[in-house]
Structure 1
Amino acid sequence: MEHRLERIKKQLHSQSYKLTPQREATVRVLLENEADHLSAEDVYLLVKEKAPEIGLATVYRTLELLSELKVVDKINFGDGVSRYDLRKEGAEHFHHHLVCTECGSVEEIEEDLLEEVEKVVESDWKFQVKDHRLTFHGICKVCQEITVTNSVSN
């Protein structure tokens, strides 16, 4: 984690920003909860445990700055809540998500599934792709198994 924190610090410095104690507390929460897709309020509640003096507005500003600098990606899974996801080191693109419409679970797909699509978009539409996001909405394996089990027992 310290290695990633140091890389984020360098990324901020390269854009003339400092890793203030408030920003560091926010980044640490994101690193510690990387598997989760935390909302700003979730981040705030976890940051408050580490640094009670930090306000919600500071956390919001920090998350927006980290989003602008492409340290985190701001995502929305269609539920009206913005969530924040650390961008993987060295990733050229945002990773993809599988969102279960039954239980709300979110899985990540690290593999870039859209390289060929990007080539078509760039050649056919003369559009230079800088990034993309892909979210699949459906029913996860666990919920499918529950549905099958419930229908068999009825």
Structure 2
Amino acid sequence: MTKIARRTEKLTEALRRAGVRITRQRAALLSVLAEAEDHPEAIELHRRAEAVVPGISLSTVYRSLTELENQGVILRHQFDGTPARFEHTETRHHDHMIDVDTGEVVEFASERIEALQAEIAEALGYEIVHHRFELYVRKKDGL
């Protein structure tokens, strides 16, 4: 089974567990979401699903995304003043850089940053339970 097929199955099962009927439109949305390697907004997911199966409503997209988030199979990211973006929960922990000019979201992972965060929490008498680390960036001139 391919990665996309596994994702689609996981998303489909999550909606079924939530008692949501899998219509042609929802199946198209789940397929589009399973294929997404970026961090699409709901409007973009709607546009992609509409291209596959015309007639999907934006409210169906929003309701489906809410249920998928409630089921823990997608994450909602709200980056500083921008519409919510979504990604799969199956990825290993990573942080994000958001280009303030283009809106591009770049994932990165750094053991040094993770260790420093844990060290700071420990020095202040805490342990990290959950965190998100976001950098808002702009390309340097000439790059």
Q: When the two structures are superposed, what TM-score results if normalisation uses the length of structure 2?
A: 0.75
CA distance in 1, matches of 2:98, 2:88: 17
Q: CA deviation at 1:120?
A: 6.0
Q: CA deviation at 1:73?
A: 0.8
Q: CA deviation at 1:40?
A: 0.9
CA distance in 2, matches of 1:102, 1:32: 26
Instruction: List aligned pairs for 1:2-151, cutoff 5 A.
Output: 2-12=5-15, 15-17=17-19, 20-21=22-23, 22-34=25-37, 36-89=38-91, 91=92, 93=93, 95-110=94-109, 113-114=113-114, 117-118=117-118, 121=121, 124-125=125-126, 129=129, 131-139=130-138, 143-144=139-140, 147-148=141-142
Tell me the percent identity: 26
Decide whether aligned partners of structure 1 residues 116 and 42 sit closer, same or farther in structure 2, where only a CA change above 3 A counts: same
Contact 1:29 1:47 (C-alpha < 8 Å) held by counterparts = yes
Q: CA deviation at 1:44?
A: 1.0
| Gapped regions of structure 2 (runs ≥ 5) | none
* Aligned residue type for 1:7: K
3-state SS in 1 of match to 2:125: helix
* Count of aligned pairs between the two proteins: 137
When the two chains are superposed, the root-mean-square deviation of aligned CA atoms in Å is 2.9
Q: Deviations over 1:78-115 (max 9, x none)?
A: 133111112225x4x4x311112233321112556436
Q: Which of 1 and 2 has greater Rg?
A: 1
* Aligned residue type for 1:61: R
| Gapped regions of structure 1 (runs ≥ 5) | 150-154
More displaced stretch, 15-24 vs 63-72: 15-24
